[in-house]
């Protein structure tokens, strides 16, 4: 028996039409460094139409890929809306990729057009001659004359190009299962891998971002989207905002603690999202330059584990709760959110908040042990996390031959190791490649990092395993000391004495100016291992 319900494609075009009419007065606010420029969602509808018309004129007539090499701003938001809605595929290029990786992803995706912010022209120009399929570059917020393009590539001014276009567009009825957007993994091992999101997966994911057990994005919110639009679709915030009518505050290139604090003071957003390193830097700035940020009802942290000390500091000193979430490029990225059950209070609620969170109905999860067996959800058994669902990648772009080991019997192998409670809360203990095996037992680098960062003198701490003749591996702790503070390895070991098992206490310590970061702001432990191997770290041994 079939239903009697109407059918219709869940497309980005539908989201754009809805957002630009029903939520016409909602805003996209772009920070300029000294103030804000504003555009309503109604303006966005016209802006997107002009961009779509311009791209049609440049030969984007089907599902060709259009790259963006841009900060979070109104122009990038117009690209997010226009490119998928017109039936093409948005490809967000990560501006922090290594040059050879940037060339690889542009060629692999076969980008035809690239939109670039003027401040990023020097970065793109160096690699553009190697991008074999690019035929047009559109320079926004800058002078196109600064880009010396290779033969066969035409350079355009964004403003001039759009000024000649109509502000209406006949948005096509796009099949919901066709690709809408592409992101590539950060490529810490091997070449970056492409993930092609469908219109349907983005639509369903956007609904989850607005759910009350998730980020609770609402029309009344003004959301500060610090998480880059060039990484994991800015955690789904742009499309969820179109769906629900939440205004967006875009920080553009001003991502240091002081300008972020200025944005907070000027725009008073109610919601914000960024990786932990952003909030750690902001916390240090606010402690030295206090200001009221209680207008933030909630802050979402993901990308890597949020140290409990960071969560407590924001809530206890500034009245701002941090919501911990987990996800990855392959999961769109929302996989779980650490919102405690309604009955949990006090310390029990905090224990739930320290986890990576509970899985929503659209994300199925399982743990696989070393021997391939499925592990129980008892909050004790540990295994590699595998997930599946309608916004989870089933393969990488290029077919099943691209890293087939990442996909197992219809499930995505996340590479994360952890445990799951009976009520569905995930606690990750490590990445599979970062877990430390010492004397036949496992040491969680994440747990050690969080414990060390609980010391008031520590700004950052990263833990890697180093070879040991007796124990196979032992932890090495790299510490960044807060400005104006002092602490020794002896003091830190004493600080850890009642926080971890005695056999887990690290014997190897080093103090560095900054923990190396990946292109998406996570601790780059591969580089840290290389620094240790080549002798560039000054290590204290106990």
Task: Give the Cα separation of 506 and 539 in Å (integer).
Answer: 12
Q: Are strands 65-69 and 36-40 parallel, antiparallel or unpaired?
A: unpaired
- β partners of residue 457: none
**Residues with catalytic roles:** 185, 330, 437, 442
Query: Is the peptide bond prior to 447 cis by the omega test (within 30 degrees of 0)?
Result: no
Decide: 236 and 328 in contact? Cβ < 8 Å: no
Q: How far apart are CA 327 and CA 311, in angstroms?
A: 19
Residues in the chain: 542
Classify 517 as helix, strand or coil: strand
Local structure of residue 252 (DSSP, 8 states): B
379's enclosing H/E stretch is: none
Q: If 0-12 CB within 10 Å is exposed, 13-18 middle and 19+ buried, where does residue 259 land?
A: middle
C-alpha span between 525 and 462 (Å, rounded): 8
Of 297, 302, 299, 123, whose CA–CA distance to 228 is shortest?
302
Phi first, then psi: give them for residue 525, nearest 5 degrees.
Answer: -75, -20
Going by C-alpha positions, the residue among 328, 339, 299, 320 that lies closest to residue 520 is 328
Give the tokens for residue 77. Answer: 């938001």
* 468 SS3 class: strand
Partnered with residue 273 across adjacent β-strands are: 225, 300
SS3 track for 300-366: EECCCCCCHHHHHHHHHHHCCCEEEEEECHHHCCEEEECCCCCCCCHHHHHHHHHCCEECCCCCEEE
Three-state DSSP at 280 gives helix
CA distance 537 to 441: 26
CA dist list (Å): 327 to 121, 275, 383, 385, 386: 31, 12, 17, 12, 12
Neighbours of 437 (CB within 10 A): 12
| 3-class secondary structure per residue, 94-134 | CCCCCHHHHHHHHHHHCEEEEEEEHHHHHHHHHHHHHCCCC
């Amino acid at each position: 028996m079939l239903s009697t319900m109407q059918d219709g494609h869940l497309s980005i075009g539908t989201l754009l039409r809805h957002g630009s009419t029903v939520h016409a007065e909602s805003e996209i606010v772009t920070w300029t460094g000294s103030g804000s420029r504003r555009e309503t969602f109604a303006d966005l509808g016209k802006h997107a139409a002009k961009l779509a018309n311009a791209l049609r004129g440049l030969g984007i007539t089907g599902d060709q890929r259009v790259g963006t090499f841009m900060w979070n701003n109104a122009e990038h938001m117009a690209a997010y809306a226009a490119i998928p809605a017109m039936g093409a595929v948005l490809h967000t290029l990560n501006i922090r990729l290594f040059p050879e990786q940037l060339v690889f992803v542009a060629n692999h995706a076969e980008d035809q057009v690239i939109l670039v912010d003027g401040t990023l022209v020097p970065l793109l120009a160096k690699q553009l001659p190697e991008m074999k399929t690019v035929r047009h570059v559109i320079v926004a917020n800058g002078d196109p004359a600064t880009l010396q393009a290779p033969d066969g590539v035409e350079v355009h001014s964004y403003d001039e190009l759009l000024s000649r276009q109509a502000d209406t567009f006949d948005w096509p009825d796009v099949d919901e299962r066709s690709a809408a957007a592409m992101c590539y993994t950060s490529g810490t091992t091997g070449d970056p891998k492409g993930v092609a999101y469908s219109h349907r997966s983005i639509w369903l994911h956007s609904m989850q971002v607005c759910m009350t057990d998730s980020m609770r994005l609402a029309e009344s919110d003004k959301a500060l989207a610090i998480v880059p639009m060039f990484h994991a679709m800015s955690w789904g915030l742009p499309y969820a905002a179109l769906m629900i009518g939440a205004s967006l505050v875009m920080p553009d290139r001003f991502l240091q603690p002081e300008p972020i604090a200025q944005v907070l003071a000027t725009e008073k957003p109610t919601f914000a999202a960024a990786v932990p390193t952003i909030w750690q830097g902001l916390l240090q700035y606010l402690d030295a330059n206090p200001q009221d940020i209680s207008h933030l009802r909630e802050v979402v942290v993901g990308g890597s584990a949020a140290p409990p000390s960071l969560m407590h500091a924001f809530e206890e000193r500034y009245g701002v709760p941090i919501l911990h979430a987990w996800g990855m490029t392959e999961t769109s990225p929302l996989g779980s959110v650490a919102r405690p059950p309604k009955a949990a209070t006090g310390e029990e609620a905090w224990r739930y908040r320290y986890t990576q969170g509970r899985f929503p109905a659209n994300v199925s999860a399982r743990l696989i042990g070393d021997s391939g067996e499925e592990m129980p959800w008892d909050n004790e058994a540990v295994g590699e996390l595998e997930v599946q669902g309608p916004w989870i990648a089933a393969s990488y772009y290029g077919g099943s031959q691209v890293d087939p080991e990442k996909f197992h019997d219809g499930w995505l192998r996340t590479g994360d190791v952890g445990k799951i409670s009976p009520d569905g809360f995930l606690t990750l203990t490590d990445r599979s490649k970062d877990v430390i095996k010492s004397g036949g037992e496992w040491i969680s680098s994440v747990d050690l990092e969080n414990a060390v960062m609980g010391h008031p003198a520590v700004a950052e701490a990263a833990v890697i395993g180093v070879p040991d003749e007796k124990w196979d591996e032992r932890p090495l702790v790299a510490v960044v000391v807060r400005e104006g503070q002092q602490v020794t390895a002896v003091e830190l070991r004493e600080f850890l004495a009642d926080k971890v098992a005695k056999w887990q206490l690290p014997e190897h310590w080093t103090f560095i100016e900054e923990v190396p970061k990946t292109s998406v702001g996570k601790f780059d432990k591969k580089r840290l291992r290389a620094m240790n191997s080549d002798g560039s770290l000054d290590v204290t041994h106990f």
